[in-house]
Amino acid sequence: MSEPVAKVAIRVVVNGVAHEHSVEPRLLLVDLLREVLRLTGTHVGCDTSSCGACTVLLGERCIKSCTMFAVQADGQTITTVEGLAAADGTLHPLQRGFHEEHGLQCGYCTPGMLMAAVDLINHNPQPDERAIRRAIAGNICRCTGYHNIVKAIQFACAELARTKTRDTS
């Protein structure tokens, strides 16, 4: 255990920016994001992949970054909450939804909730309430009782549907 372990070079693209680092093989992805890249919007709430505060997108799908080694993400593209808004600062419809519908209180679960919801609406743009509740069932919130988080996601879906209608008409 005390023997020094050779570091491994990895390359990841996070929020559109390429990073190369040599990391310990045991370094968790969440610690790469938080401690090495200083992207502290991704949080840790449980250590057992139960709470989802560490949820980020790996490619298209959301994953729990506390349950994956940084080396496993080598060569991949990652999106964290910091990369959710447009480059000009325009908020993502989900971010607007969380604000408009009061979908957050302490804010600690919010980044993970947002990223899980991004995955949902990318694959199912018009989910019903049951689908929304199932999609965020891997994310624990202790403040909102989920009521307004569901409404926040519905808000974003409605907004995206309106945009789409405008685009196609």
- Strands of 55-58's sheet in order across: 17-23, 8-14, 77-79, 55-58, 61-64
Residue 144 found at the interface with other proteins (CB under 8 A): yes
Residue 100 found at the interface with other proteins (CB under 8 A): yes
Strands 17-23 and 8-14: antiparallel
Minimum CB distance to other proteins smaller for 61 or for 142: 142
Lookup: tokens for 50: 């139960």
Residue 157 found at the interface with other proteins (CB under 8 A): no
Question: What CA–CA distances, in Å, run from 161 to 90, 143, 146?
Answer: 18, 29, 23
Minimum CB distance to other proteins smaller for 27 or for 62: 27
Positions that interact with other proteins (CB under 8 A): 1-2, 4, 24, 26-27, 34, 38-48, 50-51, 53, 80-82, 84-85, 91, 95, 98-100, 102, 104-111, 114, 129, 132-134, 136-150
